Amino acid sequence: MSKNSPNRQNTPKPEAEPLPPVRNLTTLVFGLVKPYYKWLLIIFAAMLAETAMSLATPWPLKVIIDNVIADHRLPAWLAWIKGISLNEHKMYLAALAAIAMIVFTILGGLASYTNNYFTESVAQYVANDLRRKMYHHLLRLSLSYYDTHQVGKLLSTITSDVSTIQDFASETLLSILIDALTIMGMLGLMFYLNWDFTLMLVGISPFLLLFVIRFKTAVKKATHEVRKDQAEMVAVLQQGLESVRAINAFGRQDLEEDRLKRVSFETITAALKARKVKSIISPVITLVISVCTAFVLWRGANLVIAGAMTIGSLTVFLSYLNKFFSPVKDLAKMTTNIAQALVALERIQQILETDAIIKQKPGAFDPGRLKGNIVFENVAFAYTPDSPVLRDISFSIAAGQHIGICGPTGSGKTTIASLIPRFYEPDAGRILIDGVDIKDYNLEGLRMQISFVLQETVLFYGSIQENIAYGRPEATEKEIISAAQKANAHEFISHLPQGYNTLVGERGLTLSGGERQRIGIARAVVRNSPILILDEPTASLDTEVEKNVMDALENLMKGRTVITITHRLCNLTKADNILVVNDGVIAEEGKHKELLQRGELYAALYHNQGEGIK
Ligand SMILES: Nc1ncnc2c1ncn2[C@@H]1O[C@H](COP(=O)(O)OP(=O)(O)OP(=O)(O)O)[C@@H](O)[C@H]1O
């Protein structure tokens, strides 16, 4: 069975998810925002301006209360107004305070606009970079990674976790910084207005902070659970929708719905648990705030009566008090967002840190066009350490030879072929092409020399033309048409509504199995690589269609080294050599007739097929 078969993809796989070290998160974040440092500088300047304006807003009120309504001494910076007569200077002051209020608001608004716009830009671009970085990485991982990771969960990280980071960067992060700046500015001004009140506030803050930090750990743990369950849910949905044909065929909609029901309920339970933890923070902080405000009101009233404080100062103080606790409260609420962002970052980091990459040797070189001489020397391989699939495989194929690989199902035929383009690495032994270990070639160059026609040809969404040219995008229209002719596909393509421009693949026109295979063959013709691997290319076709596809394959095979994996032994009668694989070793080797005469495994397989599948 080919590795791309839906059955294999749909088997739920165990998933190990160790958390990455947090120190690497800083490196990740730093690397992500570094390209946008100019925007960050603009954001920072705008943030300072916004904070300054927010701090300045209550001061006109103080001037009105203390210097216009009451007769307090003018502060030094307003002394120049004194020259004007008393009544006039009061009107002057009132107008000035009113204008100042408007100016502060306008400047604050402008700063906030700049802030928001640039922060959103940074967030969008960082999310874009993250998505692309992850996709880039995922597309280059060894196929063994996908044997143990569900695609649905990966999808969930690329979409949901990246959006969490984006929202955090565009909304929460900005607020946290503004809040922190505001708190610092306010503390300074509050000390200036009345230091003993301020000391009291500062005294409470560490307790609040401790409380918030203590809860952050709990919230983060709960958030982790929620995200895990959500990803599980996406995996179930993705698997179900992808297999909708099989589900309908077996009438097992109920089973799939039950699967979703289970994970969906698990998500609810985890989300409610997380909410329970989060909900404690807000009421506790509100209580602390109201106790402080009550104290300031009581003590402030006493001070004003005793003449130790002006009403205007008390008003500014109260307004700051309100403002002081609002960022503190926000910061507490943001604990949740911070926890969510950290969890998302960790999940992203986990993907980016996976080094299940086929390693490129230093000095690996592009082989250029190979002749196609293939040698396996004592190759052993296992997908999982405790169950070896290939044990000691040695064979050689001369350039231009056509060899067949057959054997009972599950004996390791497809695995042998997967090692040649290095989809997986052998655990022992080596593979040479044209006398050089394939590890010495760079991956891209090596893979360029190999074409596949598999049991099912995957069509990508796009035109037939693009699909044929998938393995060599620079192919000309003439080359594409000539390839389609060699693949016996030109005729049916010409009859399609838009010919070579007809859209196929998901949401496009559906082609029959035989038509898809011929597109697959045309694709291999266009790629024109010296090594060709055919893995059961006609297994899913009926005899009539198979003949047509076989003719096309004959055209494709000319002048190339070809490895044909097949159960239909009658397709191997012309092969230069046949390897009969059994239980991870080569049990027999020879030409069709020789193997039949020998009367062992090959002969048994051949006769088991009733010699009929001819
Ligand atoms: N991705 C994988 N992860 C784990 N085990 C795998 C994987 N692919 C194949 N195997 C196992 O390795 C063994 C050999 O599989 P392989 O597909 O190479 O056999 P095959 O001879 O091509 O089988 P078939 O004739 O059914 O296509 C089987 O036992 C199979 O279950």
Q: Is 409 in the pocket of ligand 1 (CB under 6 A)?
A: yes
Residue 1 inside a domain? The answer is no
Q: Ligand 1 centroid to 417 CA: how many Å?
A: 11
Residue 359 lies in a domain: no
Q: 163 and 230 share a domain?
A: yes
Number of domains in the chain: 3
Token code pair at residue 320: 């700051």
Same domain, 119 and 198: yes
For atom 31 of ligand 1, the residue with the nearest CA is 410
pLDDT of residue 7: 36
Token pair for residue 396? 């050689």
Q: Are residues 93 and 213 in the same domain?
A: yes
Is 219 found in the same domain as 106?
Answer: yes
Do 96 and 151 lie in one domain? The reply is yes
Whether the predicted pLDDT of 553 surpasses 80? no
Q: Specify if 14 maps to a domain.
A: no
- pLDDT, position 148: 76
Instruction: Name the 3-class secondary structure at 280.
Output: helix
Average pLDDT, the chain: 81
Q: Residues 542, 490: one domain? A: no
Instruction: Assess whether 220 and 233 both reside in one domain.
Output: yes
The answer to whether residue 4 sits within a structural domain is: no
Q: Are residues 36 and 81 in the same domain?
A: yes
Largest alpha-carbon pair distance within the chain?
126
Q: Which of 8, 379, 411 to mutate to test the pocket of ligand 1 (most atoms within 8 A of CB)?
A: 411
Domain boundary among 353, 377, 408: 353
**Which residue, among 321, 292, 340, 331, has the nearest Cα to 212 in the 3D structure?**
331
Query: At which of 511, 528, 545 does a domain end?
Result: 528
Domain membership of residue 49 (yes or no) is yes
What whole-number distance in Å separates Cα of residue 558 and Cα of residue 364? 30
Directed axis angle between helix 23-33 and helix 311-353, to 10°? 100
Domain end: 483, 499, 528, which one?
A: 528
Domain co-membership, 235 together with 347:
yes
- Rounded CA-CA distance 146/424 in Å is 12
Q: Residue 15 domain-assigned? A: no
Is the C-beta atom of 414 inside 6 A of ligand 1?
yes
Exposure letters 538-564 (e unless 16+ CB within 10 A, then b): bbebeeebbebbeebbeebbeebbbbb
480 and 433 belong to one structural domain:
no
Structural domain includes residue 194 = yes
Q: Where are the alpha helices (DSSP H) in 306-406?
A: 311-353
Same domain, 118 and 196: yes
16, part of any domain: no
CATH of the domain at 381: 3.40.50.300
Residue 161 reports pLDDT greater than 80: yes
User: Residue 245 Cα, ligand 1 centroid: separation in angstroms?
Assistant: 24
DSSP 377-423: EEEEEEEETTEEEEEEEEEEE-TT-EEEEE-STTSSHHHHHHHTTTS
Structural domain range at position 496? 457-528
Residues 552 and 516 in one domain: no
Instruction: State whether the beta carbon of 415 lies less than 6 angstroms from ligand 1.
Output: yes
What's the pLDDT tens digit per position in 187-242? 787 787 777 767 766 776 667 667 777 777 777 788 888 888 888 888 888 888 87
pTM of the model: 0.70
The pLDDT, as a whole number, for residue 4 is 38
- Of the listed ranges 155-164, 377-386, 509-518, the least confidently predicted one is 509-518
